[in-house]
Every structure is written in C-alpha cells, then in structure tokens.
C-alpha cells in the first residue's frame, strides 16, 4: 500500500489524529527522498492498559505510510524514574512488555515483521552512550532537566538525581536509534524540546517530534497505570470491563474529558473505520457511524445515550482484548505476569473490608529519627519521647525487629545510609500503591499485613520475601536474623 501513496498522502497518514508536530518540514523533506524512520519508546513500569491502543493505532498508521518503526522498551528509564521498576524486576518487566505489546499489535492486525524491537540497556550501557550522557550533563542545567521531566518523571518532595538524567537519556535515544522522528504523548513535549535544544550542541541532528493527545481515563483524568480506577487492564475479564465502564465518567452531552468517547475517536475509528452504536429497537435500533464527528455531534445533542455508548465501546474493546487474554492463558505467560508484577495477586473475601486489596502499599511507612529516649517511669524498659518525621502527620509507631525468648531481643530497623526523616518506605513490587489516609481498626489491615513482615537470613526486612526499601536501598537490622517485625 505504501508504494502507491504520494509523499503528501503518507504525511496525512503519519500526522492524522496527532495533537502537535514539531519539525513537520523535516518530515516532508525526508518523505520526498525516502521512508521516514520513527521510534516510540515505553518505560517498562506499570502494566500497559487499554490507552496503549492509542499509540498502537498510530504505529499501524506509520507502517501503512511505509515508515521504518522501532519500538524501544526503555528499561533503564523505568529504573531512573524514581525506581518505578526495581532493578531486580527490570528484565521480567521488559519480557512482559514485549509479550503484551506484541499481542496488542497482533490483535489490531499489525505485522510484527515490519517492526524493530530494542531494549534500552542493550545500548545505553555502552561506553559511547555513557560518555554522551556525561557530555550532555555538562551542558544541561538543573532547571532545564527538571522542567523537561515535569510531566513524565514522578514528582516527589526530594527528587533523585536519576530523575534529572531521564530527559537527557531520552534525547540521546534519538541519535543512537538513528531515527528521523520520535513519537510520544503530548505530555513529553518538554523532553522533545530539550532534545531539539541540546542534541545539536553534541554535533547531532535535530529530530522531528510527533505528539499524540493525552486520552482521558475512565475517571475523566489522564489514564494511569498506577490508578486502578482510571484504567482498564489488558488482561481484565469481560466482567471487569463491564464493571469499570459502568462506573466511567460519561456525562450526557459532555464531550470534554470523556474517556469513553475518546477511545472511539483514537482507537476504534483509526483501526476499524466505523463504529456501531447498539440500541434497543424501540430507540431506533443499531446504527453504524463512518465518521467520528457525527458520533461526537449526536452525543453532544444527547441523541446517543451514555449507556448505549458504553455498551458499544464494551463490545469493541472486548474484540480487541480477547486475543490478548487468550495468549496470556498459557502457563508461561501467567507465570511471567505474576513474577513481573508480584502485587497483581489480590486477597478477596466477602462483604466489607476484606473485599479491598490487602497490599502492603496501604501502610504509610516512613523513615523517622529518634530524637530522645527516656527510661519508663513505671517499668524496667525504655520509651521514646520524640520521633522526628519531618512534618508527616501520623500516630508514629516505631517498627522493630524482635526475637522472642528470655530475655526478648529487640532492635530498631535501619534505613539506608543517607536517608532523611519522612522518606517513604515501600515494599518491593508494590511501590506504585497509595497508602490509606487512615487505617480502619475494624478491618485489621495492619494486623493482617504484619504477620508476613519478617527479617531474612541476610538481616533484610521483608514482606512475603519482598524487600522493604526506600529510594536509597533496603531496610535492614543489625543481628536479628529470622526475627519478626512489629
């Protein structure tokens, strides 16, 4: 098909549904001479969700236009972004991403033989790349690096140096992947402009940048891997899809921040070319639309009911997800999923609090500094008079390792050297969860989680064999191997 297209027709395919293009003249110039080389990168952090069909549909457009497309699994970026992917899980996350992205592409009919797949650490640890990182870091100001990553890199009170390196590495990828253009979401615009500003300073060419709009999630905000309510997972069952769509924000007549409507625009129409709204015969029966503007217009006029729109998107979505579900029924891929995302397993029970995910991320554990210790006036023991938590409002409780016996042996847990009061402590593999604002004592969340808090034979604090960590490393104790944590 691409051989029969003119450069202008190829440009229309490449740029359709994009929010912005930087360097369009460069793209036009390349298309007059040869096929465009473009790459899309994804940091291997949380599980990909249905919003990933938006870049996948654009990759299909690029291929139809004859582009040479590279997909980068940015494992090093995943680690640099505030340790969203622990180092021990990087390889597993890359394998999961490769399998699920390929399954997505297959489900929309994209031939994999026309794509090139690359893992970041296959070239980002080379001598040449590392030297360029140093060269770039000698030019980029802290202000520019922080500004560039503001909408992509996780923002925390005490940012790590790694997060400042992230935008520069993404800029260098353009040179090392030898592409003409980089494709990504409009949230990466500041990284793209940083690349345009600094790559020529290293003697490298300025690339074009193709930007997708940010598709709203089910709650009306950006769809996020770390926000369960905002997304539909690629492996969600039909029942889960129905339940999540039922709760999705889809106000009658409102076409702003409508994730359900956006899915029709950016996924269904580019892939299918039409959309069928299923309706009861008494309301006119099913209607097939061949133009998104007509769907949007009729929804705005409330001719299309939100319930009918959701039910129709549910059908379209399940058609896309079914081949992916089937592929991941294999024992090998199920094992890979559970290994790459150990927090995926959930404890579920009957009504009440047991129905919530019993994950250690629900505990708000912080580094504290013991300011003073006094002898208890009424017992042969010590008590803490004050713990510095740097303004964190909480009923502070000191976590200690202990071994029962006579006498009972107790040691405080030690954070990594260089830690500061108030820093978050998380369980490896559960770093993206949100702590409860307040634990409900009736639900016994602490009590249920505490039974699996132990000290390993290497004196490392663990929950179900997953390390307790801060951004600087592991939580340990000095001598109490095999002890309990309470």
| Average confidence (pLDDT) over 468-483 | 88
- CA–CA distance, 89 with 123 (Å, rounded to integer): 19
Helix axes 238-247, 306-327, angle to 10 degrees: 150
76-105 pLDDT, tens digit per residue, is 988 888 667 788 888 999 999 999 999 999
Encode 264-304 in three state secondary structure.
Answer: HHHHHHHHHCCEEECCCHHHCCCEEECCHHHHHHHHHCCCC
Q: What is the mean pLDDT of the chain?
A: 85
Q: Is 33 left (phi over 0), alpha (psi -120 to 50) or beta?
A: alpha
352 pLDDT higher than 90: no
Higher-confidence residue of 486 and 19: namely 19
pLDDT at 345: 40
295-307 pLDDT, tens digit per residue, is 999 999 999 999 9
114 pLDDT higher than 70: yes
277-293 pLDDT, tens digit per residue, is 988 888 888 999 999 99
pLDDT at 348: 33
396-427 pLDDT, tens digit per residue, is 556 777 777 667 788 889 998 888 888 888 89
| Average confidence (pLDDT) over 228-245 | 84
The model's confidence at residue 271, banded by pLDDT at 50, 70 and 90, is confident
Higher-confidence residue of 185 and 381: namely 185
Helix axes 90-107, 53-64, angle to 10 degrees: 60
168-204 pLDDT, tens digit per residue, is 999 999 999 999 999 999 999 999 999 999 999 999 9
Domains contained in the chain, CATH given: 7-212 (3.40.50.620), 238-340 (1.10.240.10), 360-485 (2.40.50.140)
Q: Tokens 């089937």 correspond to what residue?
A: 326
- CA–CA distance, 321 with 264 (Å, rounded to integer): 15
297-348 pLDDT, tens digit per residue, is 999 999 999 999 999 999 999 999 999 999 999 999 999 999 998 853 433 3
């Amino acid at each position: 098909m691409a051989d029969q297209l003119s450069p202008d027709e190829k440009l229309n395919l490449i740029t359709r549904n994009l929010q912005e293009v930087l360097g369009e003249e460069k793209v036009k110039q390349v298309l007059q001479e040869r096929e465009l080389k473009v790459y899309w990168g994804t940091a291997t952090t949380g599980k990909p969700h249905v919003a990933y069909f938006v870049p996948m549909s654009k990759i299909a457009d690029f291929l139809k236009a004859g582009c040479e497309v590279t997909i980068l699994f940015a494992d090093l970026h995943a680690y640099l972004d505030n340790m969203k992917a622990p180092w021990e899980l990087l390889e597993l996350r890359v394998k999961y991403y490769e399998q699920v992205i390929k399954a997505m592409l297959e489900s929309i009919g994209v031939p994999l033989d026309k794509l090139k797949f690359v893992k970041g650490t296959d070239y980002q640890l080379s001598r040449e790349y590392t030297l360029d990182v140093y060269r770039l870091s000698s030019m980029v100001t802290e202000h520019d690096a922080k500004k560039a990553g503001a909408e992509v890199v996780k923002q925390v009170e005490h940012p790590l140096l790694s997060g400042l390196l992230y935008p520069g590495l993404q800029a260098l990828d353009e040179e090392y992947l030898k592409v003409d253009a980089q494709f990504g979401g409009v949230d990466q615009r500041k990284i793209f402009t940083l690349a345009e500003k600094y790559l020529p300073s290293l003697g490298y060419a300025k690339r074009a940048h193709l930007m997708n709009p940010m598709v709203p999630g089910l709650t009306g905000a950006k769809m996020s891997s770390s926000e369960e309510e905002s997304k539909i997972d690629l492996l969600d069952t039909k029942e889960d899809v129905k339940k999540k769509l039922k709760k999705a924000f889809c106000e009658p007549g409102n076409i702003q921040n409508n994730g359900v409507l956006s899915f029709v625009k950016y996924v269904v129409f580019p892939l299918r070319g039409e959309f069928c709204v299923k309706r009861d015969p008494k309301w006119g029966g099913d209607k097939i639309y061949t133009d998104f503007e007509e769907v949007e217009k009729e929804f705005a006029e409330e001719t299309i009911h939100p319930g009918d729109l959701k039910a129709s998107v549910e059908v379209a979505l399940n058609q896309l997800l079914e081949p992916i579900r089937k592929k991941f029924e294999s024992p090998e891929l199920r094992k890979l999923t559970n290994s790459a995302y150990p927090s995926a397993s959930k404890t579920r029970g009957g009504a009440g609090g047991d129905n919530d995910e019993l994950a250690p991320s629900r505990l708000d554990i912080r580094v504290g500094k013991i300011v003073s210790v006094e002898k208890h006036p009424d017992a042969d023991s010590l008590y803490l008079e004050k713990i510095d938590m740097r303004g964190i409002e909480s009923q502070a409780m000191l976590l200690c390792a202990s071994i029962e016996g006579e006498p009972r042996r107790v040691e405080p847990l030690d954070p990594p050297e260089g830690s500061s009061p108030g820093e978050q402590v998380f369980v490896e593999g559960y770093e993206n969860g949100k702590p409860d604002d307040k634990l409900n004592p009736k639900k016994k969340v602490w009590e249920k989680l505490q039974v699996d808090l132990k000290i390993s034979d290497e004196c490392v604090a663990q929950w179900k064999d997953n390390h307790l960590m801060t951004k600087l490393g592991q939580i340990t104790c000095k001598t109490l191997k095999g002890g309990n944590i309470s």
